[in-house]
Structure formats: C-alpha cells, structure tokens
Structure 1
Amino acid sequence: MNAARLTLFQMRYVNKAFWRNPASAFFTFAFPLMFLVIFTALLGEGEVHVGGRTIHQSTYYVAEMAAFAVITACFNNVAIGMTFQRDSGVLKRIDGTPLPSGVYLTARVLHALVVSLLLVGITVAFGHFFYSADIPTGATLWRFLVMLVVGACAFCALGFAITAVIPNADAAAPIVNAAILPLLFLSGVFIPIGDDAPDWITWTGDVFPVRHFAQGMQAAFLGNPFSWSDVLVVALWGVAGLLVALRFFSWEPRR
C-alpha cells in the first residue's frame, strides 16, 4: 500500500476514534456555537469598526467564532490529544509498527482539517440564519478556503510543537489554554480591538498568527480587503512549528 492510501486508511481510523468519543466530539462542535450565542447576546447589539467599515458585532462574531473553531480543532485538540496518546503509550506502539510516522501525523492533520471544515460550515450556516451574516462566495470563497487550509495546517503544526513543552497529560489542557487564550483576547477574537488600544496589544497581535488568521477569515465574511501577507505570516508560523516538532516531538512518554 502506497503512502497516499496508507494516509487515507489511517485518517479513516482517526475519524472513527474521534466520533466514538461522543462527549469530546459534541463539545468540539458545541464550543464555537456556544461562544457565538453568548457573545452576541452580551455584545451583539453594538457596532464595531473593522477595515474602515462599521458593522454589527453579531456579524463580527460569526467570523471570529469560525476562526476560533479552526484553532480549537487544530491546535487545542491536536496538542491535548497527542499528549494523552503519548503518555498512555499509544504513540510508542504506533512508532513500533511499519506505519511511517509521517503518514500518521499527516492523517491527524487531514482529520483536523475535515473537522475544521465541518465546524466552519456549521458556524457559517448558524450565523447566516440567525444573524444574517454573509456567506463567502465566488473569488472570496477561494481566498477564504486558502486561508482556512493554511491556518488549519499551521495550527496543527504548532499543536505538534507545543507537545515538546508539555511534561505529562495532566498538564496538557492548562498549558495549551495558557498558550492560546491570551492570544485570542489580544488578537480581537473574543473582544474587538479598538484604535485606542495600547500599542503593546497591537504589537503582540501582529507578531503571532492568531490575529492574521482571524483577519483572513474576516475578509471573507465582512467584505474587507484580503491580505496575502496574513496568509504568509500564518504559513511561516506553521513552518516554524513543523521544524520544532521535527526536532523535539517525542513518541514515548516523558520520564
């Protein structure tokens, strides 16, 4: 069996394992919608200035929760899931089989990408029917899909990379959340960043990939100008995460 067929076969197995854990699958899909409802209920009546335009915050949060859904599926789930598999010995057993390690990791990325597409589709449909958010179409749709695919792969690579600093499974969720939650706030995913925000918040958001990914998603939903530099920054972070993962990723439990 060639590498492509092996990857698809392994992806099918990962997909089955994901859906056979209904509690994890349910909350993976419920979190973005839950936050979308909460934020729009609390802040959705106001307006926010984005890209020189004034839009309702309910529409703004549809785009942001789509970005949050991808980050959750690709960074949080991959990092925490791989750490638990590492500590339980699953990765060590897989590494001892003839299955190439690249095939296994690629299958995890492809599965995360499929879950991301489902999450974004559900979020977009929910936002369209309940908050009248626009759906990306035409050339905008293709740029949106490029941003989504690049972002999903990049955050998966970063998820693999952060496992290098997670000492054990019990520390996985706290470390992953500590790494991503501040960036979600500083990048305007949860709360819009105004022009009067402190310079250090703007600088921090510009350095890390979350804001650039969120801006790329916003461009499709809100009709803002699309910037390929956002795609480039996210891709560079993905390459950096991949290099760190290749150097420090461990298949065996930490001692």
Structure 2
Amino acid sequence: MVWKTLRSSGAIPWPTRVIAPETGCASSFDVILANPPYSIKQWDRAAWTQDPWGRNFLGTPPQGRADYAFQQHILASLTPKGRCAVLWPHGVLFRNEEQAMRARMIEQDWVDQCDLIFGRRSIVLEGAGKCSMVSDLSEPVIFESSIIRVTLDPEKAVPKFVFEWLRSPKGAQQITRIRSFTTIAGITGSDLKKIFIPAMSISDQIATSNELASLRNSLNEVRNRQNANLALKKQALEKLLGGNNVY
C-alpha cells in the first residue's frame, strides 16, 4: 500500500482515513512516498510533546521547523519492513537544533549480530558484493551507505550457512553476475534479492555450515604452518649465508 503525504496543519494530526475502523488504531503501510511542507512554523508544538500515538519517539522539533515531526509521523506509519522516500531540504541533515533527533534516527540502523554485510561499491572490482558476517558485538555499530545490510529470517535461513555458501565458487558466481562496473564497481539491493540460495532444512544448513567452517579452519592451519616453515627456512638460509637478502 502506498500513502502519499499531503499538506497537513495544526498538530500534524493522524488523518482519519488512515485509522483502522476495526481497531481504532493507526494503520501502517509498506511504502510511503512523501513531500511534506518544508519548515512550517505554525503548528502545535506543545501538543506534539504529548502525542497520543507516540510519534514523538525521536523528540520534539523546534517551533520554527516542523520537518522532523513529519518525518517521525512517516516512520511511525511504516510496517516493520516498510520503506519510505521523503523529499527534504538539505538543512535536515545539518541543523544543530535537530542533531539529537538525527542521532536517534541513525541509531535505529544499528547492525545486529549475524547480519550479513555486503560491499555496495568499490574501486576494486572484487570488493563490490564482498560479504562479511557480523560476529559478537561489544557495542552498537552503525552501518553506512557504502554497504548493504541483510538480516535473514532465522526460521528460513541460517546466516552462517548463507555466508559460507556465498564464499563458495557457486556463490561467488552469483555475486559476479549482479556486479556492475562503470567508474567504480557496485551492486544494488534489488539485484542482491535475485540471488537464490539452495533450499535446505535448518538442521542441514547448520550441519553444512559447521562442516564448511571446520574445513576452512583446517586449511587456514595448513597455510599458517606453511608460512611458518617458509619463515624458518629464510632465517636458516640467512644464518648460513650470512646475509639478510634471502627470499
């Protein structure tokens, strides 16, 4: 469902047409496209501080700029997986009196444990689409626009399995297929959705990912021993030959 925000007045009331009659509660929307009026000054700021729908979860904007009241109204109208596109002047990104509200809004995009992170763009071709999995977090981490965050449904997919599969030759082929290159390499979220992961039960995904991780750890141990042996060989040759330019 798409809701286009129209000019509103007063305390930015929730329009009657978006109140679900069966519950008396506000309806929510999958997609919202909005072009609110910029920086209106005549609005009921006092009423917003006691908003009955709890839309002031980021704070109360200054009297002379109601922009973040509209923004919170839009965010509060989204479904859990809803999206919105809002046309705003650049000032909403920089004005000092709205700094705290901006920070709270950014904090809603914290990265969570087991999220998959994809490189959105890179000057190196192989960097675009490179996948990492978030491990244990000691503090909240915010993701930036140069990456794509994917949170999987735990009832359908095991993050570790998807991560390991994307590192496999077949997974790498899928990333290569959606990767584009102009002045820089990049992938898009819409193309990322086109990647099909093998359908397996949750128990099989867990078993497969654990086996792959174990094999990968064994390979890393072999590489580490090889590197250690090469270092010892170099030291022995340097000692034997009395020089330090042995390769």
> Higher helix share goes to which structure?
1
* Larger RCO, structure (CA 8 Å, separation 6 or more): 1
With structure 2 as the length reference, what TM-score do the two structures score? 0.22
Highest Rg: 1 or 2? Answer: 2
